[in-house]
Amino acid sequence: MTKKTQTFQAEAKEILDLMIHSLYSHREIFLRELISNASDAIEKLKFESLVNQSLPVPVGGFEIRLDADQAARTLSIIDNGIGMTSEEVVANIGTIAHSGTKAFVKMRQELKDHPEMIGQFGVGFYSAFMVADRVTLHTQKAGTTNGTLWESDGGGTYTIEDQPRERGHGTTLTLHLKDFKDEDGEVQNFTDFWTLKEVVKKYSDFVSHPIKMLHSREQKKDDKTETVVEDETLNSQKALWLRSPSEVTADEYNEFYRHLTHDWVDPLKTIHYRAEGTMEFTSILYIPAQKPYNYDFRDRKIGLNLYVKRVFIKGDCEELLPPYLRFMKGMVDSDDLTLNVSRELLQQDRQILRIKKALASKALSTLKSLLETDRASYEKFWANFGSTLKEGIALEPSSVDKLKDLILFNSTHSNQLTSLAEYVARMKPGQKDIYYITGDSLAQIQNSPYLEKLKAKGFEVLLMTDKVDAWVATGMDQFDEKSFQSVSAENLDLGTEEEKKAEQEKMREAGEKLKPLLETMQEALKEQVKEIKLSERLTESPVCLVSVADGASAHMERLMESMGQSAPKAKRIMELNPNHPLYNKMMTVSSEQQKEWAEILYQQALLNEGSQIENPYLYSQKIAKLMMSAAMH
């Protein structure tokens, strides 16, 4: 291929401009990002060579080298990893994978606010332009003889051509360094051995491959001074997980977390766990302190790093944790798995399943301890990842009992979150069930008509507004021998036997009095509702709609529709408050007016539960007509 000039994708060009002109602080993190990329390339080749024996493995071992030329002001980062084809160079460097407008705008703003987190956004390569005005990349894919030479000054275009790499497979990234000073006015020299060693020690000490650099020093011998050139390894390559937890400092755990995740905010909680006996493995798990910007992206990579006998096998191994713990980061090292374990084997291997079960159990017990000993920290965790954790209630029946102890809800008791144990401890005498209501927002359900009778009796109600809550509520069944009861369901039982008998007598009397009206309203709404009956649950509002037994709630129907699934539309029951003065007034008007008012009441009930009405314009016209009629009397 002759040398070609190509243009960066628009989003890539904008990130380049951001790196060159806006991100002045934390310049040194460019080296962390480029070493991390080199490490990833080596890990990929190590894994691929286990599966494909024909791939070359360096005789002298895998390594990353730094080569600095002070006179030419260049710094090269060199690896003997898997390398790239020319197509992969264009795909990985010329474009940005997540180029959706909304996602890109968010990523761009996050980068401006937190430049130290570049690696978390998948744009680590571009950090080279923070310190270089020209970047040359020479790479060759393992197993091929064709190399690719790429070069750009960050001005919006790049050149690319075929050129074999003398070193064979791997990548050489050469930065032609700018002249600049740090925030204190000191010149930052990224060709200086001691500067580079300090940056490597700070950011990349836990990289599992040696990071080497030639170092010249003066030494005296026989009264003469001579220059000695030595090859020095700059990083410790400590397998942190093999050390005793008592020997590891918080700073070391946090540094390892940064190495794994590129998240520069210290984790909320660290779990160093060693399983022994019939199943042996070591793991370090982290609960992040903040939600990653791309946490809700469908194609976001999740899972832990898997090692076998200290050999990296797979990153983002989602088989090691259940989906409801996908917010956790970290690694697992096992001596009991085969080195050439494949994706298919991972899904079937009994040992993997045992590790998964043990890690989940350890994670849940740690969360329970955090809830009991540090409520403030737990609520920070809950704000970020509570919705994810609750998915286990709906998706993993075997974990429900443990998860019930960990979930928190808003409730009518106070503005503070409550656990189920705290809710049960506050239950009123005579209260038989745990009451809940689901909805789209707190503002919508806090003043819902469904709560009126429960508030009057002092019964606390859980307010569930996460999308997953509709499934959570049906998946819990009981807690502490108390059943869960939706306040919007049919036949809500709130009173004692004596109260129910007295209420039934009142309902009978009111029913006889309002019978003609009920029949007229039923005729008017026969296409919309299954039945119209008098309600015991309302104290202030005139009307509400309730779901029939075993029927989907209105909230569930809306959720299904929002996910593109058509939920069967079941007619609901319309309940009237017999004590509301409106119905006495309705008894005095014509049957035609009664039917029109019945339609208005039905549409009000839909709005109160958060549902859409079919014709808002017609509804507003009817309300205006009613107001005019009232004004004339």
Percent of the chain scoring above 90 in pLDDT: 39
Beta-carbon contacts of 145 under 8 Å, excluding residues fewer than 6 positions away, are 164
Q: Are residues 266 and 333 in the same domain?
A: yes
Place of tokens 């761009």: 108
Report angle CA 449, 453, 458 to the nearest 5 degrees.
120
Is residue 381 situated within a structural domain? Answer: yes
Domain boundary among 355, 389, 423: 389
- E strand or H helix at 77: strand 74-79
pLDDT for 565 equals 63
Instruction: Give 60's pLDDT tier (boundaries 50, 70, 90).
Output: confident
Instruction: Give 361's pLDDT tier (boundaries 50, 70, 90).
Output: very high
Q: Are residues 534 and 621 in the same domain?
A: yes
pLDDT for 282 equals 94
**How many angstroms separate the CA atoms of 34 and 40, rounded?**
10
Q: Are residues 229 and 259 in the same domain?
A: no
Contact criterion met (CB below 8 Å) for 428 and 455: no
Domain boundary among 233, 265, 292: 233
Q: Are residues 229 and 302 in the same domain?
A: no
Q: Are residues 139 and 275 in the same domain?
A: no
Is residue 394 situated within a structural domain? Answer: no
Domain boundary among 389, 418, 434: 389
Is residue 229 situated within a structural domain? Answer: yes
| Terminal Cα distance for the chain, rounded | 89
Is residue 349 situated within a structural domain? Answer: yes
**How many angstroms separate the CA atoms of 208 and 236, rounded?**
8
Lowest mean pLDDT across 48-57, 79-88, 174-183, 300-309 = 174-183
Helices 193-203 and 29-51: crossing angle in degrees, nearest 10, is 70
Q: Are residues 245 and 136 in the same domain?
A: no
13-22, 40-49, 359-368: which is most confident:
359-368
Q: Maximum Cα–Cα distance for the chain, whole Å?
A: 121
Q: Kindly tell me if the per-residue pLDDT of 207 is higher than 50.
A: yes
Is residue 401 situated within a structural domain? Answer: no
pLDDT per residue as tens digits for the range 374-419? 999 999 999 999 999 999 998 888 889 999 999 999 999 999 999 9
Q: Strand, coil or helix: what is 83?
A: coil
pLDDT for 272 equals 97
Q: Are residues 258 and 348 in the same domain?
A: yes
Find the CATH number of the domain harbouring 366.
3.30.230.80
Q: Kindly tell me if the per-residue pLDDT of 497 is higher than 90.
A: no
Percent of the chain scoring above 70 in pLDDT: 86
Q: Taking residues 139-163, what's their average pLDDT?
A: 92
Is residue 11 situated within a structural domain? Answer: yes
Q: Kindly tell me if the per-residue pLDDT of 237 is higher than 90.
A: no
Q: Kindly tell me if the per-residue pLDDT of 342 is higher than 70.
A: no
Report angle CA 285, 361, 474 to the nearest 5 degrees.
115
Q: Strand pairing partners for 173?
A: 77, 137
Q: Kindly tell me if the per-residue pLDDT of 194 is higher than 90.
A: yes
Q: Are residues 279 and 385 in the same domain?
A: yes
Find the CATH number of the domain harbouring 97.
3.30.565.10
Count of domains observed in the chain? 4
pLDDT for 124 equals 75
Q: Kindly tell me if the per-residue pLDDT of 183 is higher than 60.
A: no
The DSSP letter of residue 531 is E
Identity of the residue numbered 46: K
Is residue 399 situated within a structural domain? Answer: no
- E strand or H helix at 501: helix 497-524
Place of tokens 């007295």: 502
Beta-carbon contacts of 417 under 8 Å, excluding residues fewer than 6 positions away, are 379, 382, 408, 409, 410
Q: Taking residues 250-258, what's their average pLDDT?
A: 90
Is residue 106 situated within a structural domain? Answer: yes
pLDDT for 105 equals 57
Q: Strand, coil or helix: what is 598?
A: helix
Q: Are residues 266 and 181 in the same domain?
A: no
**How many angstroms separate the CA atoms of 370 and 570, rounded?**
43
Identity of the residue numbered 382: W
Q: Are residues 244 and 227 in the same domain?
A: no
Question: Whole domain around residue 137: which residue ranges?
Answer: 4-233
Q: Are residues 206 and 327 in the same domain?
A: no
Residue 535 CA, chain-centre distance (Å), reads 42
Q: Taking residues 540-550, what's their average pLDDT?
A: 84
Lowest mean pLDDT across 86-95, 453-462, 496-505 = 496-505
- HSE-up of residue 597 (Cα within 13 Å, Cβ side): 22
Q: Kindly tell me if the per-residue pLDDT of 55 is higher than 60.
A: yes
- Joined together, the tokens standing for residue 451 give 């709560």
pLDDT for 344 equals 46
Does the global pTM surpass 0.75? no
Question: What's the sign of the alpha-carbon dihedral 362, 368, 371, 374?
Answer: negative
Report angle CA 449, 455, 456 to the nearest 5 degrees.
105
Q: Considering the chain, what is the average pLDDT of its residues?
A: 85
- Joined together, the tokens standing for residue 222 give 């026989």
| Backbone dihedral angles phi then psi of residue 488, each to the nearest 5 degrees | -105, 10
Q: Strand, coil or helix: what is 288?
A: coil
Q: Are residues 254 and 151 in the same domain?
A: no
Q: Taking residues 34-60, what's their average pLDDT?
A: 88
pLDDT for 345 equals 52
Find the CATH number of the domain harbouring 611.
1.20.120.790
Q: Kindly tell me if the per-residue pLDDT of 347 is higher than 60.
A: no
